[in-house]
Structure 1
Amino acid sequence: MKTLYLVRHAKSSWKDASLRDRDRPLNKRGKRDAPRMADVLKEKVNCPDVFVSSPSRRTQDTAVSFLHVYGKLIADLELEEALFHGDEGDMASVIGRLDNGHQSAMLFVHNPGITDYANELAKVSIFNIPTCGVAAISLDTDCWSEVGKCPAEMLFYYYPKGLDLQF
């Protein structure tokens, strides 16, 4: 069994129009939501074995909040260019290359890829995974390259504005 945690980056800032898309930082709400969601996850699940992120600033900033809460170092974050606005195929490719020794993986990615991939993988119908939303998926396999071909089940789906409704 493997567990995949898909995390959409927290809310980003559009304040500086001169920044390239990949360089946009988190805004005030994003800086608040990322550590809050990390705390919620830490209460629910053990530390993932591997953390992988799109190289965009907003995904890395979101990931750092999770790393901090789990007591990990920034050096523990793996960056994958294919995850920058990656689609389902890009995510599947990155996941398929993960070390089979890892039982769980947390990916920090973008929309619409995260929503499309979570729906496709777990056979669910989530309209939109909001910023800093987390979808946890259980995978009935011992091999990451089998993801997408093995049974999968949505374990939970949390997002910042829905936290008060879920507890």
Structure 2
Amino acid sequence: MKTLYLFRHCKSDWSADFQRDFDRPLNERGRGDAPMMCDILRSVLSPSETCIASSPSVRTRQTIEPLIQHWSEARRGAIDWNENLYESGRSAYMEVIKETPDTFDNLLIVGHNPSIQDTTEFLVSGHRLDELVHVATGTLLCLTMNLRSWKQAGADHAIIRWMLTPRIVKKVRQV
């Protein structure tokens, strides 16, 4: 059994002064949501048992920082800051999935939309379903695949186990 976690970066700041989209940071809400969503990841992931690939954009780095800030330098150095996860689409995400070493049963990809949504829909249904799931900023998805090897991942191989947004987490915490 392989478990894939897809994490869309938290809310970014469109009013910030940046030269290119890659450099756009999180806004105030995103900076508040990132630690909350990373707390959830911290509760379900073991750093030594999880392969992590992330877009190297400023907003994805800021999103995952609360998860990895207490990790050893060696473990932080093992994160694949993969430029192909920035704007390359589903094919780049599938390549990362298929190239994950089978010694890891968990894979966390931190990235962007529409790539996360397209990858989810492909893995669950085999094609794009025009928002089978709506992946808002800060959304965390958990998909399971009954596979022995990540290389086997493909169309219609995954089940969405759960999906959390910052809005849902905030409402649950209020109860």
Q: Does TM, normalized by the shorter one, top 0.5?
A: yes
Give structure 1 stretches of 5+ with no counterpart. Answer: none
Residue 132 of structure 1 corresponds to which residue in structure 2? 138
How far is the alpha carbon of 1:43 from its aligned partner? 3.0
Residue 106 of structure 1 corresponds to which residue in structure 2? 108
Which aligned pairs between 1:4-153 and structure 2 lie closer than 5 A?
A: 4-47=4-47, 49-68=50-69, 71=71, 73=73, 74-123=76-125, 125-126=132-133, 128-149=134-155, 151-153=157-159
Is the 2:52–2:80 contact (alpha carbons within 8 Å) kept by the matching residues of 1? yes
User: Which one-letter code corresponds to 1:41 in the other structure?
Assistant: L
Q: Which deviations, in whole Å up to 9, do the C-alpha atoms of 1:29-66 show, x marking residues without a partner? A: 11110110011233345445111101211111112222
Is the 2:124–2:156 contact (alpha carbons within 8 Å) kept by the matching residues of 1? no
The alignment of Structure 1 onto Structure 2 pairs a total of residues equal to: 165
Q: Which deviations, in whole Å up to 9, do the C-alpha atoms of 1:102-130 show, x marking residues without a partner? A: 1101001101111111122123821x211
RMSD over aligned Cα atoms: 2.1
User: Which one-letter code corresponds to 1:16 in the other structure?
Assistant: A
Is the 2:124–2:155 contact (alpha carbons within 8 Å) kept by the matching residues of 1? no
Counterpart-to-counterpart distance in 2, 1:36 and 1:18:
26
Q: Which deviations, in whole Å up to 9, do the C-alpha atoms of 1:48-93 show, x marking residues without a partner? A: 5111101211111112222237x45432321111100231111101
**Does the residue aligned with 2:69 lie in a helix, a strand or coil?**
helix
Q: Percent identity?
A: 29
User: Which one-letter code corresponds to 1:159 in the other structure?
Assistant: T
The alignment's TM-score, normalised by the length of structure 1, stands at 0.88
**Does the residue aligned with 1:84 lie in a helix, a strand or coil?**
helix
Instruction: Indicate the larger mover: 5-14 or 40-49.
Output: 40-49
- Displacement over 6 Å in runs of 4+: none
Is the 2:18–2:24 contact (alpha carbons within 8 Å) kept by the matching residues of 1? no
Give structure 2 stretches of 5+ with no counterpart. Answer: none
